[in-house]
């Protein structure tokens, strides 16, 4: 394969990464040196509060391959990736994180695999996650297992946003109008011919991840409610089950009263039962509320993101 033939777009969302962007750009230049000018680096500043965007502008002034997008505020990584997809022009498109945990030097190998075997998408599967805590690895494992059981589409395990895609796949992603996006699910939902590429994920180059456990929990909730209605069905089934148990329990006590003359007693049991059923009802109302909240937000038809400034675009 002639590495200078494909025109490649590298999309990188950034948020408060002023200390990482220069090293990231240097790594890109080294990894994609064989591509020459036939490449574009699209950095999307997702409302950074530090000097990240000014650092990107300095790179863009020196190298016209660097394209910069500054969003009006922090819209989230999914929206930042969408902004990159909307402007990229590459025959192949890849998404990389500025922390370089996903090695950029593997992208050309993934492109070679795609062209050799005619794949539309080659997604990275993490064989090993270096530099991550046991809790994060365990929670990620559980999340993919739960999503695999609940989702109507297949979302590969241990797969993030690291992948290469042909232009028709990116064009399909541009057709989505939903505001709350779970890109891992959308990547699978669009279909096309996809295959896995196994690699070892490196530790973060510097700094700390912007995703705390609360944000990761919300991210997981977005994934489940975006691609599965099983929680709603589960609430329905449990509701029917409790109603059935209550019906037969009532028949049991009534029968005991008329056959054996036993008085129906148990004030403490009654209180515990009411609290338990009330807790179940509140939990299921919360599940329904999650779905109603998504409908409420989508009904507003707000844009996924708002661009404040662009450079070299």
Query: Do residues 280 and 307 both lie within one domain?
Result: no
CATH (domain of 32): 3.90.550.10
- 10 Å Cβ neighbour count for 35? 22
Query: Do residues 128 and 244 both lie within one domain?
Result: no
Any domain includes 56: yes
Any domain includes 223: no
Query: Do residues 169 and 235 both lie within one domain?
Result: no
Query: Do residues 256 and 112 both lie within one domain?
Result: no
Residue 29, pLDDT score:
87
Query: Do residues 28 and 132 both lie within one domain?
Result: yes
Query: Do residues 177 and 204 both lie within one domain?
Result: yes
Dump strand ranges (E) for the chain.
8-14, 39-45, 66-71, 92-95, 121-129, 159-166, 194-201, 307-311
> What is the pLDDT tens value at each position of the chain, 313 positions in all?
344 444 789 999 998 888 888 888 888 888 888 877 788 899 999 888 888 888 898 888 888 888 899 998 888 888 888 899 988 888 899 998 888 888 888 888 888 898 888 899 898 888 776 656 666 666 666 666 666 666 666 777 777 788 889 989 999 988 887 777 777 778 888 888 888 888 887 765 555 555 555 555 555 566 566 666 667 666 666 776 776 676 676 677 677 666 766 665 666 567 667 767 776 777 777 777 777 777 777 777 778 888 898 888 7
Q: Which domain holds residue 100?
A: 8-209+303-311
Query: Do residues 200 and 251 both lie within one domain?
Result: no
Query: Do residues 163 and 177 both lie within one domain?
Result: yes
Query: Do residues 235 and 198 both lie within one domain?
Result: no
Query: Do residues 43 and 185 both lie within one domain?
Result: yes
Q: Which residue, chain included where needed, has tokens 């530790």?
A: 203
Any domain includes 145: yes
User: Which string of b and e fits 47-69 if b means at least 16 CB within 10 Å?
Assistant: bbeeebbebbbebbeeeebbbbb
Query: Do residues 307 and 273 both lie within one domain?
Result: no
Residue 280, pLDDT score:
72
Any domain includes 169: yes
Q: How many domains does the chain have?
A: 2
Any domain includes 222: no
Residue 5, pLDDT score:
42
Any domain includes 86: yes
- Which of the 8 DSSP states describes residue 71? E
Any domain includes 220: no
Do residues 153 and 188 touch, judged by C-beta distance below 8 A? yes
DSSP code string of 105-162 = GGHHHHHHHHHHHT-SEEEEEEEEETT--HHHHHHHHHHHHHHHHH-SS---TTEEEE
């Amino acid at each position: 394969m002639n590495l200078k033939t494909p025109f490649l777009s590298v999309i990188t969302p950034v948020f408060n990464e002023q200390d990482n962007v220069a090293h990231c750009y240097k790594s890109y230049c080294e990894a994609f040196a064989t591509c020459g000018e036939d490449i574009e680096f699209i950095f999307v500043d997702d409302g950074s509060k530090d000097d990240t965007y000014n650092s990107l502008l300095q790179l863009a002034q020196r190298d016209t391959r660097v394209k910069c997008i500054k969003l009006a505020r922090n819209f989230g990584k999914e929206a930042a990736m969408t902004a990159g997809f909307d402007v990229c022009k590459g025959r192949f498109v890849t998404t990389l994180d500025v922390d370089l945990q996903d090695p950029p030097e593997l992208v050309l190998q993934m492109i070679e695999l795609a062209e050799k075997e005619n794949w539309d998408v080659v997604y990275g599967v993490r064989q090993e996650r270096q530099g991550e805590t046991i809790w994060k690895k365990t929670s990620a494992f559980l999340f993919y297992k739960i999503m695999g059981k609940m989702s109507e589409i297949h979302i590969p395990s241990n797969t993030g946003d690291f992948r290469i895609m042909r232009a028709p796949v990116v064009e399909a992603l541009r057709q989505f109008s939903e505001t709350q996006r779970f890109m891992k699910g959308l990547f699978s939902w669009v279909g096309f011919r996809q295959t896995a590429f196994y690699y070892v994920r490196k530790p973060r180059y510097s700094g700390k991840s912007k995703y705390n456990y609360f944000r990761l929990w919300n991210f997981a909730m977005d994934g489940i409610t975006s691609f599965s209605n099983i929680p709603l069905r589960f609430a329905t089934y449990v509701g029917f089950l409790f109603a059935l148990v209550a019906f037969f329990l009532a028949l049991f006590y009534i029968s005991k009263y008329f056959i054996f003359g036993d008085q129906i007693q148990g004030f403490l049991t009654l209180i515990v039962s009411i609290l338990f059923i009330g807790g179940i009802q509140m939990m299921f109302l919360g599940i329904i509320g999650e779905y109603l909240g998504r409908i409420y937000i989508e009904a507003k038809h707000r844009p996924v993101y708002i661009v404040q400034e662009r450079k070299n675009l």
